[in-house]
Chains A and B, each alone.
Chain A
Amino acid sequence: KQEVTQIPAALSVPEGENLVLNCSFTDSAIYNLQWFRQDPGKGLTSLLLIQSSQREQTSGRLNASLDKSSGRSTLYIAASQPGDSATYLCAVRQETSGSRLTFGEGTQLTVNP
Chain B
Amino acid sequence: DAGVIQSPRHEVTEMGQEVTLRCKPISGHNSLFWYRQTMMRGLELLIYFNNNVPIDDSGMPEDRFSAKMPNASFSTLKIQPSEPRDSAVYFCASTLGGGSGNQPQHFGDGTRLSIL
Contact = CB atoms under 8 A, between A and B. Distances in A.
Interface of A: 31-32, 34, 36, 41-46, 49, 51, 89, 91, 93, 98-101, 103-106
A106 B42 CA distance: 9
Contacts of A46: 104-106
B31 to A, nearest CB: 6
Contacts, number: 59
Contact of B31 (A42, A99, A106): A99
B25 interface: no
Interface stretch (B14-22, B60-68, B73-81, B107-115): B107-115
Contact of A49 (B33, B48, B104, B109): B104
A71 B60 CA distance: 28
A101 to B, nearest CB: 6
B42 A105 contact: yes
Do most interface residues of chain A lie in helix, strand or loop, or is the interface mixed? strand
Contacts of B31: 99
A43 B33 contact: no
Given A41-B109, A43-B109, A89 B55 contact: no
A100 B95 CA distance: 12
B4 A43 contact: yes
B88 interface: no
B42 A103 contact: yes
Contacts of A98: 48, 55-56, 99
A38 to B, nearest CB: 8
Nearest to A104: B42
Contacts of B12: none
A89 B106 CA distance: 14
Contacts of B109: 41-43
Contacts of B102: 32, 49, 51
Contacts of B108: 43
Most buried by B among A42, A43, A49, A104: A43
